Amino acid sequence: MPYPDRFYPVVDSVAWVTRLALLGVGTIQLRAKNLDDAEALQIVTDALEVIKGTDAKLVVNDYWRAAIVAGAKHLHLGQEDLVGADLAEIRKAGLTLGISTHDDEELATALAAKPDYIALGPIFPTTLKSMRFAPQGIPKITEWKKRIGDIPLVAIGGIKFEQAAEIYAAGADSIAVVSDVTQNTDPDARVRQWLGQGAEAA
């Protein structure tokens, strides 16, 4: 399977990781904020435990030390976290690395770290966190993809299933989704829609 998978949900709890893994989701990012070292290690360890026996790959957001100690395989860093991260240690531990980008300067910083994928966002306005960056829009996906070449491009930010085909067509290799799943009235049905779309588009 490609990494990351074309459908890439981002969730904040082990319960969500469990639910998505059982539905057959291939790549799941665990993004839980404001944890201390012990809490981070616990949640990463628990999440790795619940995906055993499934096809899911767990991507740890931010907590690179916990990811290394717990034996995770995949890591995602925002630009702020990238500053304080020990890339040599991360690579020595065999972790893949995805990096968030929002503008040209951040893209240059990310590419210097030789990432396994680049995330671009927010594509659309997002209600989940206040962003200091304006929505990028779909044309930016095409531009970014041309610039990064063979590195997988993940689109994130306010994306709903109904926009998926257009975003894949613009050049995104993967779509990261938060509220379209976690705030959906029927999350399981929504996930199945996404998984079906990913299979058709692959």
pLDDT tens-digit profile of 53-86?
Answer: 999 999 999 999 999 999 999 999 999 999 999 9
pLDDT tens for each residue of 8-27:
999 999 999 999 999 999 99
CB atoms within 10 A of CB 167: 17
Instruction: Look at residue 44 and tell me whether its pLDDT is greater than 50.
Output: yes
> Which pTM value belongs to this model?
0.95
How far is residue 128's CA from residue 27's CA, in Å, rounded to a whole number?
Answer: 21
How many residues comprise the chain?
A: 202
**Which residues touch 34 (CB under 8 Å, ≥6 apart)?**
none
Task: Compute the average pLDDT of residues 92-101.
Answer: 98
**Which residues touch 193 (CB under 8 Å, ≥6 apart)?**
161
Instruction: Look at residue 202 and tell me whether its pLDDT is greater than 50.
Output: no
Q: How many CA atoms lie within 13 A of 14 on its CB side?
A: 14
Instruction: Look at residue 195 and tell me whether its pLDDT is greater than 70.
Output: yes
The answer to whether domain 7-201 has CATH 3.20.20.70 is: yes
Eight-state DSSP code of residue 161: G
Instruction: Look at residue 49 and tell me whether its pLDDT is greater than 70.
Output: yes
Burial of 51 (0-12, 13-18, 19+ CB in 10 A): buried
Instruction: Look at residue 129 and tell me whether its pLDDT is greater than 70.
Output: no
How far is residue 147's CA from residue 135's CA, in Å, rounded to a whole number?
Answer: 19
Helix (H/G/I), strand (E/B), else coil: 114:
coil
- At 2, is the pLDDT very low, low, confident or very high (cuts 50, 70, 90)? confident
- At 132, is the pLDDT very low, low, confident or very high (cuts 50, 70, 90)? confident
- At 197, is the pLDDT very low, low, confident or very high (cuts 50, 70, 90)? low
* Residue type (1 letter), 38: A
CA distances from 152 to 52, 92, 146, 199 (A): 25, 22, 11, 17
Task: Compute the average pLDDT of residues 154-180.
Answer: 97
- At 105, is the pLDDT very low, low, confident or very high (cuts 50, 70, 90)? very high
Return the percentage of the chain with pLDDT > 70, whole number. Answer: 94
Return the percentage of the chain with pLDDT > 90, whole number. Answer: 91
